[in-house]
Structure 1
């Protein structure tokens, strides 16, 4: 399988609706740099977290060459392509790293089979588990590329020519399909039916989650009164958490661990993902006043909790007051109204809850550097 470890998955893509689809991307850079740097040393080199400049395949180089045609446009794929060459200090690739750390923290199973004995472990991790970590990142990257497709109904002349935008969409589809095909090939080569079922179901969850996230039109973004935090968690798990949770479980399956250990790994991935999504949703409300425009999703956790606290009538009044021309919203003004209530503190509390659940799920794993690294990552979710 072609090795394609992409910083692309770390780039925060924005479509015309300003929907941030980055994940593990908005926490304090200095804190995350240290967390990841320490963790990479634990799982051993070479890892997939080096610069993509050293790992670009001929196929992806060819894709990047074609994407140059989009220079001068606002197609999201152009920002994605920049991630092939430039590392982003604020966006750190985490999924594959967590899978590797989980694999090492759990260690080999007491029920080691003959096929595992023949595999040479590197830094306490089986080659099949490293391949799984790669597959996880490939799948995530493929969906990031696909989600960057522009809705041409919302296309404006300032974005670029219609021909260029259509070309960008075509490249996004083909590039995403290419990455996904490589991931599926690698998945089949693992020769483990249960792992194939787990990761295939995670791909299905991603599709379902993204479908529910996408509004039918721009106005729908403000018409989500039926979304509760229960609904939010269900949708965010599908689109942001299922892949990591099931990949952690699959890593345990590859080492022949019992169902209990698999369940604990699954819970860690689930709660870590939800915790980080909550952390990401909080970031626009944590920043101090600046010249940069403020934007956040009306379906983000702080907004949903704020709406539940103040009630629908007051929420609609605040939303109406924040509107400028037509459906345009002054997000700075709306943020000020939201910060007066307890929606933000409630989101922080929920973030801490998922962090504690992630920590709880790995307490039975033996003490080790990898175990400590997983704990550090889970605790970092509460750094606002």
Structure 2
């Protein structure tokens, strides 16, 4: 079974260049911030978002050399994503991510806020220097979406009245917006017409939704070791994802436990049992499969090649994490 890393193999060399460039872009002169950023970029992870930009850039404009603006776009994408993780970890009070100490745990919360801000500022600076106002608009929208998604999530903790639409909107802002808008930005830099730009956006959006929905399933079914964080941590923290929202429809008694923040003995275990025994996980699987099919359909127009094959294989590889 292919992994995400294997599917992204066509841009493996590009990703190596990207990591080197990121270290140079962060620059010297801010030793603590540089140390924090270095720590983040070395913390593993699939580098899916910049890889997606690089793969799409090669797919829409085959051959070498790649437009340097596309490489810079990939670097900006990773900066924005990494900055959002620093702030997310701080808000969630997470001590590790992917088994590596988080920035606020390694340094301190104040430094984590500054490191995240520093990366957002760096991303904005390099974005302005790309020379495309449309790309600036697209990626600025992403930064707004990330912040709004985090605020919405915080405001709706332990809110049993959330709908599936609320969940999908929050998931778009927190996860899919970056993939969707950076994919569209690739097309803008390549000079593609509007219908192609829309299909790139749709591919990134639906792939991002697959990723989020699969992650939310795994939160209930995977082990702590597989997740790199405690299992069921979202529910425990009061963040209701698709499996829990479906379970609330089937068992109204779950709402009482959620609203009292699992304060009574056995509340959390009972809630987990309700989610795992009902049809919520199965319905969440179906949701992820629907997004995957829509993502694949968005790229049928790409010319044949290893990049197209890899891009079309990505949604399926993400889905396989559920098996």
The corresponding residue for 2:209 is 274
Q: Matches of 1:357 and 1:60 in 2, distance apart?
A: 44
CA distance in 1: counterparts of 2:127 and 2:224, whole angstroms: 47
The CA deviation at 1:202 is 1.6
Structure 2 partner of 1:191:
131
Equivalents in 2 of 1:45, 1:148: separation in Å? 25
Match of 2:255 among 304, 312, 316: 316
Q: Take 1:60 and 1:279, find their aligned partners in 2: how far apart are those partners?
A: 38
The answer as to 2:313 corresponding to 1:376 is: yes
The residue number in structure 2 matching 1:149 is 90
- Whether the 8 Å contact between 2:183 and 2:200 is mirrored in structure 1 is yes
Conserved? CA contact 1:294–1:332, under 8 Å: no
TM-score, normalised to structure 1, is 0.69
Distance 1:293 1:145 in 2: 18
Match of 2:67 in 1: 126
Match of 2:186 in 1: 251
Give the 3-state SS of the residue equivalent to 1:297 in structure 2: helix
Question: For the residues of structure 2 that align with 1:151 and 1:365, how far apart are their CA atoms?
Answer: 40
Alignment of 1:169 onto 2:169: no
Task: Output the CA distance in 1 between the equivalents of 2:126 and 2:261.
Answer: 50
**Aligned residue in 2 for 1:58:** 28
Residues 75-133 of structure 1, C-alpha deviation per residue, up to 9 Å, x if partnerless? xxxxx875454x43xx311111101111111227xxxxxxxxxxxx635x311111111
Against the structure 1 CA distance between its residues 197 and 94, is the aligned structure 2 distance closer, same or farther, given a 3 Å change threshold?
A: same
Distance (Å, rounded) in 2 between the aligned partners of 1:371 and 1:284: 31
| Residue equivalent to 1:212 | 152
* Matching of residue 352 in structure 1 with residue 282 in structure 2: no
Q: Is the 8 A contact 2:83 2:116 kept in 1?
A: yes
Find out whether 1:40 has 2:17 as its counterpart: no
In structure 2, the CA distance between the partners of 1:147 and 1:242, relative to structure 1 (3 Å rule), is same
1:264 and 1:361 in contact (8 A); partners too: yes
Q: Does 1:221 align with 2:146?
A: no
RMSD: 3.3
- The change in CA–CA distance for 1:52 and 1:334 in structure 2 (over 3 A counts) is farther
- Select 1:241's aligned residue among 158, 176, 180: 176
Checking the alignment, whether the CA contact within 8 Å between 1:322 and 1:333 is kept in structure 2 is: no
Q: Indicate conservation of the 8 Å contact 1:198/1:250, yes or no.
A: yes
Asked whether the equivalents of residues 305 and 343 of structure 1 are also in contact (C-alpha less than 8 Å), the reply is: yes
Paired residues in the alignment total 303
For structure 2, the residue ranges without an aligned partner over 5 or more in a row are 94-103
TM-score by length of 2: 0.81
Q: Distance in 2 between matches of 1:140 and 1:181?
A: 13
Instruction: Determine the structure 2 residue equivalent to 1:260.
Output: 195
Q: Structure 1: which 5+ runs fail to align?
A: 1-27, 68-79, 109-120, 153-163
Which one has a larger percent helix, Structure 1 or Structure 2? 2
**2:181 partner SS:** helix
SS in 2 for 1:198: helix
